[in-house]
Chain A
Amino acid sequence: MTAQPDMQLQPPQNPLARFWIWSSQFPESRLILAILIGGVLLSFASDAFLSARNIRSVSLAFSFSAIAAMGQLLVILTGRIDLSTGSVMGLSGMVTALALVSGVPVGLGVVIGILVGASVGLVNGLFSVKFGISSFIVTLGTLQVARGITVGLTEGDTVSGFSDVFLFLGSGRVLGVPLPVWIMIILLIAFTVFLKYTARGREIFAIGGNETAARLAGVKVPRLQVLVFVLSGALAGLAGVLLTARLGAAVSNAAVGYELIVIASVVIGGASLSGGAGTVLGVVLGAMLIGIVNNALVLLTVPTYWQQTFTGAVIVAAALVDQMRRR
């Protein structure tokens, strides 16, 4: 098509309309606006919302899902999905807990938890890439398997009694900010750079954009695809270990259903489920929005039994707004 920009549209005068057009280039800006508006409204509705304590507990709460969601984003960028996230979090948390109570040093225990997550990711990757089984099915299977191992290892028991060093990982603060939040911020920066400024990162987008074209252009698609699943598993493992440290105990049903929050964070963050589009910052903001909604429901004393309904509605609403943006 020959572009002939001879009939430039007049920029609209309405500031809201202008923001809407400007922000289409930066999808995150709308999420930030939504979070700000929600925050202002909440601060009027509840005195507790802007207290340092509440902000800390909200940010701590969503940091776990945000960390796992970054891994999920990588998988979704390639046009696949990882449903095993919640179960991997539970399994990694449990294995680390068992290692720690049997006397393994904290550092090694954490690494073991991450490696357990990475191994599940490797299985996901090999089965879906090398054997061509849909990632939806493979990870639906490993979701069950990982949870089953978690329950089987302890026969449903809770494992606790950790050293203070390990507990510090989950609830310690540096400069007043909880440690998991720091880890989330570091990973946010690291993965933003990875996706934007490395060849592998750009190739991950390419796979989601058109897998065949990427392969014929010389991208090592299978290898990269497996790597992405391994990273998703490893990040879920890390999130699970941190969650165990936060709770001070590993329970066999820890993080059940977390994959749904994680996938919702990715989608609210503006990533396309068909692959090829999305940002790490968007994903973290998506997790933050869900965290704030959950917090709002508590502060506004919505009965616990109904909270799920509201969270679900917000997810659909966010997806709707995103869809309107794409039109």
Chain B
Amino acid sequence: MLALEGQGLSKTYSGVTVVRDIDIAVEPGRIRAVIGENGAGKSTLMKMLTGIVQPSAGSIRCNGESVAFQTPGDAMSAGVGIVHQELQIVPTLSVADNLMLVAGDAIPKTWRGSPSERTFVNAQLKRVGLDVKPTTLAANLSAAQAQLLEIAKALALDSRVLIFDEPTSALPPNDVERLLALVEGLRDDGHAILYISHHLNEIKRIADDITVLRDGQLVGHYPCADLSTDDMIHLMVDRPVALYGNMLPDHGEDEVLRVEGLTSEHVANIGFSLRKGEIIGFAGLIGSGMHDAAQTLVGEQKWLRGSVSVNGKPVRLRSPAQAAEAGIVIVPEERKIQAILPDMSVQENFHIGRHGAFRDNGLLSPKAMRSKAEDLVKIFKVRLASLNQPISTLSGGNQQKVVVARCVQSDPEVLILSEPTRGVDVGAKDDIHQLVLDLAKAGTAVIVISSEMDEVLALSHKVAVFSAGEMVGLLPREDATPQNVMKLATPKTKDVTDDRAA
């Protein structure tokens, strides 16, 4: 029997259909991967299956019975749990308290910390292999541990159906493997699993079936064994996508940026030089300090030691505004938190921090701004309905294009791209990579920081490796193999034991 089944599901938001007539089903003991570009309708489909939004048309059956989930709570009670992409954990509560928030009627309500509660919590933590004290504050969990807690929460009501939405996007590579093993274990226990991810090799590894969506419609259901990752990409975008083509342009000789021994509170010893049109990659595990290095370079983190010069002139940057004046701009890693103004229009988002270019007798020229925005939409291939729509209504990839467009408008000397393709669909990813290459070709010096090592290696003339809050090596392209980078990036054993002691 099918554990969860949606038939003819459609969703329309104020006249715009985002999901149209999709059938989907998942059986106990199988993993069904759902793939598609951002904006293909994956998230909306999952929201309908878990009661977060109600379908405009279609029906849902759970274990053969027709259901109409009005709230996420309804879905959980019926045994459908979801592990959200953005973790829904209350950081100020303990691990046990977080679990009890969703436990509902799973155990009789007694008092906080009662023996029955402790037994329940311990059993839940053991099930997902989360090896921490239940009294640990959720804020103190690592990304991987928080992810496990989130899975424990989804399982707390004995869910037979589990939905994973990009579960590995926030995990360091070494923890991805553990998560995949856990998902497989859950499948072998007879759970029905829906698994959404952009990581096609993960899907290739664990999925039994694959459902492909495109533009809100069903492309088809396929046995995983029948599809190669190239096939998947082809079905998702219906055009060949050349990922990581080796098209690095030659760089110039003039030094644009020189950084020596730069140290902030969070990262030490940043040192490299960058020439016109040269691309340097920052690689490292999550928590290695590579993102802090980006924030430090633009003055968002206070400089404790070291020196920086732009075009041979020493600079001392205390804020991103000063950095922008010196010609260093940043596309920050957390799009939602650090880059976009979610409630404001796409047009307004293009211009933040760049209004100075549109001054005409002291006042801004709305006409010039409008035509600039229209140009940027074309150049950066932003898919939108109107420049006036709030940017939060665009897909992640299109939001990212707007942010990049904002940054390069002022013709910067140095462009820092922190996680340029995080949470971005395959097509947009390719667009953004091409953009980086084009910018370098035009003479911009570029710094690319990414948790995806392949992305860094493919795009960079040289690679700076970070580990445990320090820049630990600088590899020329020839030596920047995954093995060499990983060797440098892995924290030394000493640090690991230190962490345990602390």
Is A324 an interface residue when CB atoms closer than 8 A count as contact? no
| B-to-A contact residues, CB < 8 Å | 12, 14-18, 39, 215-216, 298, 300, 319-321, 323-325, 329-330, 332, 337-344, 348, 351-356, 358-359, 362-364, 366, 383-385, 389, 393-395, 406-407
User: Shortest distance in angstroms between B218's beta carbon and chain A's nearest beta carbon?
Assistant: 15
Among A35-43, A151-159, A210-218, the one that faces the other chain is A210-218
- In whole angstroms, what is the CA distance A276 to B349 when docked? 12
**Residue among A8, A202, A206, A218 making CB contact with B364, cutoff 8 Å:** A202
Whether the pair B384, A4 counts as a contact (CB closer than 8 A) is no
- In whole angstroms, what is the CA distance A218 to B363 when docked? 19
Among A119-127, A191-199, A291-299, the one that faces the other chain is A191-199
* A-side interface residues, number (CB < 8 Å): 33
Whether the pair B321, A5 counts as a contact (CB closer than 8 A) is no
Given contacts A3-B389, A218-B325, 12 further A-B contacts (CB under 8 A): A1-B16, A2-B383, A3-B385, A5-B15, A198-B363, A213-B337, A213-B352, A216-B300, A217-B354, A218-B329, A219-B353, A276-B343
Is A209 an interface residue when CB atoms closer than 8 A count as contact? yes
| A-to-B contact residues, CB < 8 Å | 1-9, 193, 196-199, 202-203, 205-206, 209-210, 212-222, 276-277
A201's nearest neighbour on chain B, judged by CB, is: B364
Q: Which residues of B contact A216 (CB under 8 A)?
A: 298, 300, 320, 330, 332, 338-339
Q: Which residues of B contact A214 (CB under 8 A)?
A: 341, 352-353
- In whole angstroms, what is the CA distance A313 to B337 when docked? 37
User: Shortest distance in angstroms between B299's beta carbon and chain A's nearest beta carbon?
Assistant: 10
A224's nearest neighbour on chain B, judged by CB, is: B321
Whether the pair B353, A4 counts as a contact (CB closer than 8 A) is no
Contact A9 to B15, CB < 8 A, known contacts A219-B352, A276-B343? yes
Whether the pair B394, A1 counts as a contact (CB closer than 8 A) is yes
- In whole angstroms, what is the CA distance A216 to B321 when docked? 7
8 interchain pairs (CB within 8 A)? Answer: A2-B216, A4-B18, A198-B362, A203-B352, A209-B342, A210-B340, A210-B341, A213-B338
Q: Which residues of B contact A9 (CB under 8 A)?
A: 14-15
Whether the pair A202, B355 counts as a contact (CB closer than 8 A) is yes
Q: Which residues of A contact B341 (CB under 8 A)?
A: 206, 209-210, 213-214, 276
Q: Which residues of B contact A197 (CB under 8 A)?
A: 363-364, 366
Whether the pair A213, B339 counts as a contact (CB closer than 8 A) is yes
Whether the pair A206, B39 counts as a contact (CB closer than 8 A) is no
B407's nearest neighbour on chain A, judged by CB, is: A217
Whether the pair A7, B339 counts as a contact (CB closer than 8 A) is no
**Residue among B39, B320, B342, B348 making CB contact with A218, cutoff 8 Å:** B320
Central interface residue in A196, A205, A209, A214, by most chain B CB within 10 Å: A209
Central interface residue in A3, A199, A218, A222, by most chain B CB within 10 Å: A218
Q: Which residues of B contact A210 (CB under 8 A)?
A: 337, 340-342
Contact A193 to B339, CB < 8 A, known contacts A5-B16, A203-B352, A203-B355? no
Q: Which residues of B contact A221 (CB under 8 A)?
A: 321
B342's nearest neighbour on chain A, judged by CB, is: A210
A275's nearest neighbour on chain B, judged by CB, is: B343
- In whole angstroms, what is the CA distance A196 to B363 when docked? 9
- In whole angstroms, what is the CA distance A220 to B338 when docked? 15
- In whole angstroms, what is the CA distance A307 to B384 when docked? 50
Whether the pair B355, A199 counts as a contact (CB closer than 8 A) is yes
Contact A202 to B351, CB < 8 A, known contacts A214-B341, A219-B321, A220-B319? yes
Contact A212 to B337, CB < 8 A, known contacts A4-B216, A205-B344, A205-B348? yes
Whether the pair A218, B215 counts as a contact (CB closer than 8 A) is no
- In whole angstroms, what is the CA distance A202 to B319 when docked? 19
User: Shortest distance in angstroms between B329's beta carbon and chain A's nearest beta carbon?
Assistant: 7
- In whole angstroms, what is the CA distance A199 to B355 when docked? 5
- In whole angstroms, what is the CA distance A216 to B354 when docked? 12
Q: Which residues of A contact B338 (CB under 8 A)?
A: 212-213, 216
Q: Which residues of A contact B332 (CB under 8 A)?
A: 213, 216
User: Shortest distance in angstroms between B215's beta carbon and chain A's nearest beta carbon?
Assistant: 6
B332's nearest neighbour on chain A, judged by CB, is: A216
Whether the pair B17, A4 counts as a contact (CB closer than 8 A) is yes
Q: Which residues of A contact B329 (CB under 8 A)?
A: 218
Q: Which residues of B contact A219 (CB under 8 A)?
A: 321, 352-353
Whether the pair A218, B323 counts as a contact (CB closer than 8 A) is yes
Whether the pair A1, B340 counts as a contact (CB closer than 8 A) is no
Contact A1 to B393, CB < 8 A, known contacts A193-B363, A205-B344, A218-B323? yes
Q: Which residues of A contact B363 (CB under 8 A)?
A: 193, 197-198
A194's nearest neighbour on chain B, judged by CB, is: B363
Central interface residue in A1, A7, A206, by most chain B CB within 10 Å: A1
Q: Which residues of A contact B298 (CB under 8 A)?
A: 216
- In whole angstroms, what is the CA distance A62 to B389 when docked? 35
Whether the pair A7, B337 counts as a contact (CB closer than 8 A) is no
- In whole angstroms, what is the CA distance A198 to B364 when docked? 5
Whether the pair A218, B15 counts as a contact (CB closer than 8 A) is no
Whether the pair B300, A217 counts as a contact (CB closer than 8 A) is no
Whether the pair A1, B352 counts as a contact (CB closer than 8 A) is no
**Residue among A2, A5, A203, A213 making CB contact with B39, cutoff 8 Å:** A2
User: Shortest distance in angstroms between A178's beta carbon and chain B's nearest beta carbon?
Assistant: 30
- In whole angstroms, what is the CA distance A198 to B407 when docked? 20
User: Shortest distance in angstroms between B53's beta carbon and chain A's nearest beta carbon?
Assistant: 13
User: Shortest distance in angstroms between B394's beta carbon and chain A's nearest beta carbon?
Assistant: 7
Q: Which residues of A contact B395 (CB under 8 A)?
A: 1-2
Q: Which residues of A contact B383 (CB under 8 A)?
A: 2
**Residue among B16, B319, B352, B356 making CB contact with A4, cutoff 8 Å:** B16
Q: Which residues of A contact B323 (CB under 8 A)?
A: 218
